[in-house]
Amino acid sequence: MATEAHEDQAQIRGIGHSVKRKEDARFIRGKGNYIDDIHLPGMLYMSILRSPFAHAKLNGIDATRAQAVPGVIAVVTGELMAQHNLAWMPTMSGDTQAVLVTDKVRFQGQEVAAVIAEDPYVAKDALELIDVDYEALDVVVSPQQATATDAPVIRDEKEGQTDNHIYHWESGDADATDRAFAAADRVVSLDTFYPRSHPAPLETCGCVADVDGATGQATIYMTSQAPHAIRTVFALVAGLPEENIRIVSPDLGGGFGNKVPVYPGYVVATAASLLLGRPVKWIEDRSENLISTGFARDFHMHGELALKDDGTMLGLRTSLLADEGAFHADAQPSKFKVGLFHVVTGSYDMPAAHVAADGYYTNKAPGGVAYRCSFRVTEASYLIERLVQNAAYELGMDPADLRKKNFIRKEQFPYETATGFVYDSGDYHGAMELALEKIGYAELRAEQEQKRSEGKLWGIGLASFTEAVGAGPHKDYDILGLKMNDGAELRIHPTGKGILKISSKTQGQGHETTFAQIVAEEIGIQPEDIKVQHGDTDNTPYGLGTYASRSTPTVGAATAMVSRRVIEKARKIAAHLLEVSEEDVDFTRPTFSVRGAPDKAVTIQDVAFAAYTNFPDGMESGLEAAYYYDPPNLTFPFGTYAVAVEVDPETGVWEVMRMVAVDDCGVRINPMIVEGQIHGGLTEGYGIAAMQQITFDEAGNCIGSNFIDYLLPTAMETPRFELGETVTPSPHHPIGAKGVGESATVGSPAAYVNAVIDALWPLGVRNIDMPLTSAKVWEAIEAAKAPA
């Protein structure tokens, strides 16, 4: 037993091992270092006054009473910011956004003024003493209203902007799609709305800005998922030399895309610190976070699917209206105005497809962030899977059979879609078959028929998805011109321990563990001996950060490649120590040995020490390298989800009886962490399908600005998940990984909704827009009962 234990201890815990998360040692002890834990000498506190109106002219601000409050140091207005050319800032989408209002407010919750005080409560209370003269204007709360000829122009400050239209974007071949529809026996259409939702991270946004007026050095502690990109934007906004700006993103209490954009509070706090010569802290409260920071979704979608009577798919035509809010700030890759929505053909062999999208300004908070998904892939997956499910019913086919008939086959990969993606690998039939087996699909269908004969409403929903992640190749992917490549730096110390510096920023994904495991896999040093450093722009390589399922496909790849560079040098040193040519040295982690004489060997630890003490003549000392990874392609995780529900016809309450999720994310670095990610995504998907929605009344008042109105699933409501996996490695990724962090949120909402519609289809219900609250489901049942 002692020998076996010793062997287990000596095993390198690299890829495929469920290593306990290193970072949890501090988190479970309450020793995390979050933004509100940061306290600097002489620090001041900032609170922001927000507009109660969704659209109103600003006639004036009188801050006299607030200025007179003891402890108040300054009141900052848009007029003051304008004096320093800081009233407006660029967005991640190439638009501009007001920092503090100078002309009119454009959404409820917009930043109007800020109070800087010695105490956070004094700052908050003083807001009530700022007198603002508003003149209410007509309000636009939907893209449909935005297109009206008499709609007020929301962005009338922009030269040449005469309406509320932002962009028109197309993908695919319109003519080929028209020909496909002309040849169709049947066309199935669907209009659906994917409602506005919010990432709602446990920790809200905030910063501590510390600008040294003597040196010009600005150190800004910030809740950012993309600190390097934020630093560049700050340099452009504030005019500060970029080398004098240091962004430090400490531990983050969740992000989910919400902490990617630059928010006005960051800019105001930094400007205040510069002008006052003291650090300034700003932490938003929950309502501020929900009402003003980056939302997700809000797509009004129309889809049409052309089919033969035997179920063969011929073409797909989609159009959508995107509600971008008052400023276009959704941080999509520049080339793709609605993100990667054109992955809407999904997992299907679709000969022709066309996508047309239009974006509009409305009097709502800006955003459109990648909330637990790649860029707009969730909306695309939802539309195609709702369409396919309804098409199956109209054709009289089983929804599983229709999908399997049209899936891209294994032998077709690499497969170029009708909208230009090149899927590198997949086994869609394998994932589907496993999901059907795990849920007992045939038996459930038989039981469903029995229950229906008893008057009960049972439904079984399926959803298959292909996600496009890992943006991306430099020729196609940038944000504000910054190419979406990421880097890693690896240094092995003389004692054989190491430090890995990465450009991504973890916010709960376990990067400090999983990326150390990649190094362990490549080099043979145990993951606990590799420190992973991230979130500090002065001490990490440049990169675009962590969002939209990018980390493993880009930074994980960079980590593998930089490890291989280190091994290249280590092999030369090993050859020197072993007194053989480099070509005669074999490496089997963690040992370098002489080919044909395996007993003559040195370990990676021996080599690391020699890199500083006994290296060959003409070689630089040290054992370190850097690598910036430019992906040759995206990666394409996929899967199939199956859900069984029962709907109460008297109340509209629907209960999930079974939920099976089969994911294929290629190689899994840490299976335990992957399963945790999937569970989290499935929970968020359930919340979106069942309860989460931010909506607005006719005056633009935000309904969903607190956790009483904006509901999140708790352990009580969340169903039990049954997981399965298939493994189809990415052929171009250095370790075969595809990434998994967002797939569950991408695929699961359609599965839940399809299950409810499956239950109600015999009644004549064809669609219910999310969230499927019990009231909406009950209303649909009652409407179906009413005489035609």
Residues forming the active site? 225, 372-373, 742
Residues 319-346, buried b or exposed e (16+ Cβ, 10 A)? bbbbbbbbbbbbbbbbebbbbbbbbbbb
First to last CA, the chain: 76
Contact yes or no for 546/504 (Cβ under 8 A): yes
Q: Is the peptide bond before 671 cis (omega within 30 degrees of 0)?
A: no
Q: How far apart are CA 700 and CA 714, in angstroms?
A: 29
Q: How far apart are CA 474 and CA 489, in angstroms?
A: 20
Which residues make Cβ contacts (< 8 Å) with residue 424, sequence separation at least 6?
A: 413, 414, 633, 635, 636, 730, 731, 732
Q: Phi first, then psi: what are they for 510, rounded to 5°?
A: 90, 30
Residue 498, both tokens: 């190491």
> Which of 724, 718, 545 shows the shortest CA–CA distance to 638?
724
Which residues make Cβ contacts (< 8 Å) with residue 388, sequence separation at least 6?
A: 305, 346, 348, 399, 402, 403
| H-assigned helices in 396-461 | 399-406, 428-439, 441-453
The string of DSSP letters for 50-90 reads E-S-SSEEEEEEE-HHHHTSTTEEEEEEHHHHHHTT-SEEE
The upper half-sphere exposure of residue 577, i.e. CA atoms within 13 Å in the direction of its Cβ, equals 27
Indicate the Cα dihedral angle 547, 551, 555, 559, nearest 10°. Answer: 160
> Which of 672, 676, 674 shows the shortest CA–CA distance to 739?
674
Q: How far apart are CA 472 and CA 631, in angstroms?
A: 6
Which residues make Cβ contacts (< 8 Å) with residue 480, sequence separation at least 6?
A: 90, 92, 94, 229, 232, 233, 334
Other C-beta atoms lying within 10 Å of the C-beta of residue 7 = 9
Q: How far apart are CA 238 and CA 124, in angstroms?
A: 26
Q: How far apart are CA 561 and CA 519, in angstroms?
A: 10
- 3-state SS record for 681-750: HHHHHHHHHHCCCCEECCCCCEECCCCCCCCCCCCCCCCCCEEEECCCCCCCCCCCECCCCCHHHHHHHH
Q: How far is CA 37 from the centre of its chain?
A: 25
Q: How far apart are CA 372 and CA 549, in angstroms?
A: 8
The kind and range of the H/E element at 500 are strand 498-502
Q: Is the peptide bond before 527 cis (omega within 30 degrees of 0)?
A: no
Which residues make Cβ contacts (< 8 Å) with residue 37, sequence separation at least 6?
A: 250
- Residue 213 DSSP code: T
Which residues make Cβ contacts (< 8 Å) with residue 535, sequence separation at least 6?
A: 227, 248, 249, 250, 505, 506
Orientation of helix 774-785 relative to helix 743-760, angle to 10°: 30
Orientation of helix 604-613 relative to helix 557-578, angle to 10°: 70
Residue with tokens 């040849």: 183
Give burial (CB, 10 Å; 0-12/13-18/19+) of 596: exposed
Q: How far apart are CA 168 and CA 659, in angstroms?
A: 38
